[in-house]
Structure 1
Amino acid sequence: MELVLLVIFYLFTPLIILHLCHRFPFVNKLGAVIIAYLVGLLVGNIGLLPSMGQFLNDFLLNNPKATGDDINLLLSNGLISESDVTAFSIYKLRDLLMSITILLAIPLMLFSANVKQWKNLAGKTLTSLVIGLFSVVLVVIIGFFIFNNQGMKDLWKISGLLIGVYTGGTPNLASLKMMLDVDANTYILTHTYDLVVGVVYLAFLMTIGQRFFHKFLPKFPVD
């Protein structure tokens, strides 16, 4: 029953958030993604959902492909509790729903693309894209060598995730999570830190960023 309610929550919460964004301008200014993260942080930290114990968490870090039979074996041996089993079921459900939404999100993004306008995006826009891609790859490579051998597990996977999110957005990040077989906790932490930094940077751009960059960059021409 708990999993059924959780599925309903996962399916209908985004719909409610989008409805609120379309109906209330001040909610739309925050953005659906930010609100969804706030809801997730709230639900995940008020004790409604059981959390994994330290033993199970370490076990999954070392055995990311563990099955329900493996978890039941741990339970029968007294190594974990019933609460851990429920937390594992929620973990697997979340991973399944994430995989399904990725398969749906990518074609939906392509359906909304206006291919006829692609030819008008050449020139300076293409140059900006190449510079941006080069900058992202360069910074991630530098960051990898700075933090390498600092005790961070799967740093090369995190580097791949960051390149993905900065070149293709969240759907690309989620796709790479599946391709690189990234642990769910690592994926969530990477995305959360990116969101926090992104919010700060976006706030900078929306306040004093334009005036700051106009000090050494030309203004965008307006016809």
Structure 2
Amino acid sequence: MRLPVTEHTRRPWRIHDIASDFTVEDVWAFRTPGAGPDDFPVMLAALRTAGGPSGQPLLARFLFAVRWRLGSLFGWDEPGQSLGARVESLRQRLPHDLSERPAGTPLPNTPFTGVYELDDECALELANKTVHTVCHLGRVRVGDGAYELRMAALVKPNGLFGRMYMAGIKPFRYLLVYPAMTRQWERAWLDRTRPDTESRSGR
């Protein structure tokens, strides 16, 4: 479910100070029934079994394949356009207490790398010729002892080209990518308790 940007900005996440020059592009909620206050690591573990874009429906996988193909043709994802080359990793901005912690495990089959991981939030990042973006994940209390997973996409487009790129993909994100991701991630949470989850994730 898509949420207002204020659902991210009003919360005391550490990412606000680290990526203050980024724009909050999207905020999304994922239902995690039965989650408790200490279950954020369990939420992340469930996401890592979900398979990334390869676990999404055919049309969503096709869109990702088209994007990677265009990136290959036009050099959008070359090493010279990535973290440590075109832009500095946000790891370089972390305060001392976060820089001493592990960056966290990235989601499989995605180009994101970890920035930091805490008990209730984590951040991952990627950079290419179009944009420097952060995927922020956090655990939020939403009712009487109920918790859910939140995702925010923070972006810094690379000039006019990057702004045009973000505008061009916006309809696809809202109509196809995020709805497919929602179904995939919520299913991964429900499947975490099934005896065959571990065997499927190891395939």
State the TM-score, normalizing by the size of structure 2.
0.32
Q: Greater strand share, 1 or 2? A: 2
More contact order relative to length (CA 8 Å, sep ≥ 6): 2
Q: Flag the structure with larger Rg.
A: 1
State the TM-score, normalizing by the size of structure 1.
0.30
